[in-house]
DNA sequence: TTGTAGGCGTTATCAA
DNA sequence: TTGATAACGCCTACAA
C-alpha cells in the first residue's frame, strides 16, 4: 500500500448523498395504499393476471411511486420469506479452462431467460464457500476425492447441487457424467483405421498408461505397434507450447498423415501451425481434437472432434429445472460420447 | 432437448432425504439455551472476545448442538438483519480477458482473507443484474457510455461500487483509472530512442488514429517518419494470430530490432515465436508489451512492459475497505503508468 | 379489490 | 452471563 499513487477527490466528491434504501413501506405510503397492495403489484398481479387482481388505477399509482423512489425489492428479505434467491451459482476450478467457460456461457444464457441471475465462483476449494451461499441451484465443475463427503453434507442441508464428475454417484444431488476416455478411444481407432500413420499431441503424451494420451498408446499396442519418437509431442499448459509441439510434428519431411490432439484447444493450435506451414488441413494432414467445443466447430476448416452430444444445452436446462424446483433432485445424467467428423479430417482424396 | 440421452436413477436415488434446514431455534432448543445465546456463540463472542461473553461450558454445549444438527446460519436472514452479505461481486465483461482475470484473482485472494466471499458476474450488461444483487461491494470492469447513468442510480440506492473506467467521475462511487495511452507512448518513445527500428504488433495495427496502435504511429509521425509495411502486423483475437503475426515480422532477412506489442499477452506470444526462430530475445530482438501482467513478469526472459504500479493490490484493498465499510465511498484513484524495463529489452550489447 | 397481521431466521437491545 | 423480545423487509392467508 505504501507505494500507491492515489489522488482523492475533494470533499465534494465524497459527500454521501442520503443513501436511504426505499422499502416497500415507503412506496405504500407514497401511493396511499398498504404494503400488501404494493407487493401484489410488484409481484405481477396486475389486472388480467390470475390471483386477487389489483385495480388498474391503483397499479398505476403504485408503479409510479416505486419508480419515483427508485425502489428495488430487498432480495435478502425476499429470500427469507420465499426460500428462493433467483440465483444460480457456477463453481469452476479454473477460470482459464475453455470447457468450463462454455458451461458457464450455456448455463448463464439459459438462466437469464428464466429470470435467474448466474454467478460464478472460482475456487478449487468450494467446500467452505458453498456453506454460505444461498443459490437456488449450484453447479460444481469437478470434485476431488477429499471433497466427496462435502457433497452429501451440502445436499442434506438443502443445497440443490448439480455435479459434473465421473467418480461420484447421485446422493441427494444430480450427477452429470460423460465417458471421455471411451470416446477418445473411438476417435483414435477411427483415425488409425483411416489414416494409419497417426501422431499424438498433448500433455503427458509420453505416459502410455493414463488419460487421453494413454488411450492412444493402448490403441497402437492392441495392433502390435508402438509410437515412434517423432510421432509423439508432449506439451505443457501454455498456448505457445501446443503450437510449437504441432510444428515439431508437422515440420518434417516424413510427417504423419493425421494428428490426434487431446483437446480441441490443442487441436486448434495445431491447425494454425499446419496452416502456417502451408499445409491444407483435411487434405495434406488430418487433425482431430477432443471435447467437441464450439470454438472447434467454428474453426476453418471445421474441426473433427469427439464429445458428448448436447451436453451443454442439457446441463443448462437441468440447472434451470433444479433452480425452479421443477425436477426432483438425485438423477444421474450419463452422456455417451460420439465422433463428430468434420472438414479437418476429410478422407484421402 | 429431444436428443439427450439421460438415464435416470431408480427411485432410491431420488429419494428426498428429509431436507429440513436446521434453524437457530432448533440449536437453542437442543442446547437448552436461548436463540440469543446461540447467536452470541456463533458470531464469535466466546469467552475472551469482547462483548457480553458466554460461559465456556455453554459455548461448548451450543457448538456441539450446532454440529450435531449440521446447522449453518441462513445468510439471507442474517443479511436482512445486518445489511451485510459478506460478499463482494466482480462484474467482468469478458471472462477470457487475462487482465480481468488478474483483477479477479487479486481481489478474490484479499476478500477471502477478510472472510468475504468473492463472486463473479460475466455479462457485458450489468445494469439489470446489479439491480438485484446484494453484495457489500461491487467491482465493475468497464462502463459503456449508455451505462453511465446506471452507476449513479445504483449508488443512490446504496450499492457500494468501485468502477474501473477512464471516462467516468466519482459520484457516490469510487473510480479507479489509469492512463494507458500515455504509458504506451512513453514505452514507444523509449523503444524508438534506444532501438530506432521498431515494429508494431497488435489488433487494429493499421489504424494510425486510435488506441495503443495509434500511439505508435503518432510517435513515428512526430519524428517525421512513417511505418513501413513490413514493420506493422495486424492481428485478430486468437492466440495463434499473435504468434503468426510475430513470425511474419521476425522471420525476414531485414527484421526489426524491437517489437512493441500492444498487450502483454501478445508480447508473450511474440517471445515464443522469436524463440522458435532461434532468436535470443533481449539480444537479437527486443520485445515489450503493455499491461505489466504477472504472466509477463514470470516469462523467460522476463518481459519489459508498461503498466500501473501496484494497481492490482490496491484495487483489492479498496474493495475490501469498501465492503467492510472502513472507507467513505466516492474517491478517485488515479494510477500513473510507468515502464518496467526487464530482460526482454536489455539494450544493445 | 384491498388491508391486517403473522411469520421467515437472524441479530441487537435491553432487563434480569 | 443469559433470556425475552423487538426489529429487519418482505410475502401471503385471511378477513374486510
**Which H, E and C letters describe B108-128, residue by residue?**
HHHHHHCCCEEEEEECCCHHH
Cβ proximity of B348 and B138 under 8 Å: no
- Specify the pLDDT at position A17: 47
**Mean pLDDT, to the nearest integer, of A331-336?**
93
Angstrom distance (rounded) from CA B142 to CA B164: 6
Tell which A residues from 49 to 88 touch B, by Cβ distance under 8 Å.
70, 72, 74-77, 79-80, 85-86
**Which H, E and C letters describe chain A, residue by residue?**
CCCCCCCCCCHHHHCCCCCCCCCHHHHHHHHCCCHHHHHHHHCCCCCCCCCCCCCHHHHHHHHHHHHHHCCCCCHHHHHHHHCCCCEEEEEECCCCCHHHHHHHHHHHHHHHHCCCEEEEEECCCHHHHHHHCCCCEEEECCCCHHHHHHHHHHHHCCCCEEEECCCCCCCCCEEEEECHHHHHHHHHHHHHHHHCCEEEEECCCCCCCCHHHHHHHHHHHHCCCCCCHHHEEECCCCHHHHHHHHHHHHCCCCCCCEEEECCHHHHHHHHHHHHHCCCCECCCEEEEEECCCHHHHHCCCCCEEEEECCHHHHHHHHHHHHHHCCCCCCCEEEECEEEECCHHHCCCC
Average confidence score pLDDT of chain B: 88
**Mean pLDDT, to the nearest integer, of A21-33?**
92
Phi, psi of B47 (to 5 degrees): -70, 140
Q: Which three cell numbers stand for residue B143?
A: 462502463
- Specify the pLDDT at position B14: 42
C-alpha triplet B136, B139, B140: angle, nearest 5°: 140
Checking if the pLDDT of B323 tops 80, the result is yes
CB of B140 under 7 A from strand C? no
Checking if the pLDDT of B4 tops 60, the result is no
- Specify the pLDDT at position A12: 39
The CA–C1' separation of B32 and D1, in angstroms, is: 15
| A219 alpha-carbon distance from chain centroid | 30
Q: Which of B94, B237, B100 is nearest to B164 (CA)?
A: B100
The CA–C1' separation of A335 and C10, in angstroms, is: 43
The predicted-structure confidence for B66-84, as pLDDT tens digits, reads as follows: 999 989 999 999 999 999 9
The predicted-structure confidence for B200-232, as pLDDT tens digits, reads as follows: 999 999 888 889 999 999 999 999 999 999 999
The CA–C1' separation of B81 and D7, in angstroms, is: 8
Checking if the pLDDT of A236 tops 90, the result is no
Worst-scoring range by mean pLDDT, A7-11, A129-133, B107-111, B266-270? Answer: A7-11
Cβ proximity of B270 and B246 under 8 Å: yes
Which residue among B7, B155, B328 places its CB closest to the CB of A14?
B328
C-alpha triplet A308, A312, A318: angle, nearest 5°: 115
Checking if the pLDDT of A238 tops 80, the result is no
Residue A174 β-bridge partners: A162
Report chain A residues whose CB lies below 8 A from the CB of B117.
121, 129, 132-133
Angstrom distance (rounded) from CA B189 to CA B5: 60
Checking if the pLDDT of A56 tops 90, the result is no
CB contact set of A44 (below 8 Å; sequence gap of 6+): none
Angstrom distance (rounded) from CA A39 to CA A11: 39
Q: Distance (Å) from the C-alpha of residue B11 to the closest C-alpha of chain A? A: 9
CB of B77 under 7 A from strand C? yes
CB atoms within 10 A of CB B164: 23
Confidence category of residue B349, pLDDT binned at 50, 70, 90: low
Q: Which three cell numbers stand for residue B6?
A: 439421460
Average confidence score pLDDT of chain A: 88
Amino acid at each position: 500500500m505504501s507505494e500507491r499513487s492515489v489522488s482523492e477527490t475533494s470533499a465534494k466528491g465524497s459527500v454521501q448523498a442520503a443513501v436511504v434504501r426505499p422499502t416497500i413501506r415507503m412506496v405504500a405510503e407514497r401511493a396511499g395504499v398498504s404494503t400488501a397492495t404494493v407487493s401484489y403489484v410488484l409481484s405481477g398481479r396486475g389486472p388480467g393476471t390470475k390471483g386477487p387482481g389489483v385495480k388498474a388505477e391503483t397499479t398505476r399509482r403504485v408503479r409510479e411511486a416505486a419508480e419515483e423512489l427508485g425502489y428495488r425489492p430487498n432480495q435478502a428479505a425476499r429470500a427469507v420469506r420465499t426460500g428462493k434467491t433467483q440465483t444460480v451459482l457456477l463453481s469452476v476450478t479454473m477460470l482459464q479452462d475453455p470447457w468450463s467457460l462454455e458451461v458457464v456461457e450455456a448455463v448463464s444464457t439459459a438462466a437469464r431467460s428464466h429470470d435467474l441471475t448466474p454467478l460464478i465462483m472460482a475456487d478449487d476449494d468450494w467446500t467452505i464457500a458453498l456453506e454460505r451461499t444461498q443459490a437456488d441451484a449450484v453447479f460444481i465443475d469437478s470434485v476431488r476425492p477429499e471433497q466427496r463427503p462435502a457433497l452429501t453434507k451440502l445436499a442434506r442441508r438443502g443445497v440443490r447441487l448439480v455435479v459434473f464428475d465421473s467418480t461420484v454417484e447421485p446422493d441427494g444431488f444430480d450427477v452429470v457424467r460423460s465417458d471421455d476416455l471411451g470416446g477418445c478411444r473411438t476417435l483414435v481407432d477411427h483415425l488409425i483405421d483411416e489414416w494409419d500413420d497417426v501422431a499424438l499431441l498433448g500433455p503427458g503424451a509420453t505416459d502410455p498408461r493414463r488419460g487421453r494420451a494413454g488411450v492412444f498408446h493402448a490403441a497402437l499396442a492392441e495392433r502390435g505397434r508402438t509410437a515412434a519418437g517423432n510421432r509423439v509431442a508432449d506439451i505443457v499448459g501454455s498456448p505457445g507450447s501446443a503450437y510449437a509441439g504441432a510444428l515439431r510434428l508437422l515440420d518434417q519431411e516424413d510427417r504423419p498423415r493425421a494428428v490426434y490432439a487431446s483437446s480441441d484447444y490443442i487441436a486448434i493450435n495445431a491447425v494454425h501451425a499446419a496452416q502456417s506451414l502451408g499445409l491444407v488441413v483435411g487434405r495434406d494432414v488430418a487433425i482431430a481434437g477432443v471435447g467437441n467445443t464450439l470454438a472447434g466447430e467454428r474453426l476453418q476448416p471445421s474441426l473433427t472432434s469427439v464429445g458428448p452430444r448436447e451436453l451443454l444445452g442439457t446441463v443448462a436446462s437441468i440447472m434451470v429445472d433444479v433452480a425452479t424446483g421443477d425436477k426432483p433432485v438425485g438423477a444421474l445424467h450419463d452422456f455417451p460420447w460420439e465422433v463428430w467428423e468434420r472438414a479437418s479430417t476429410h478422407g484421402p482424396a
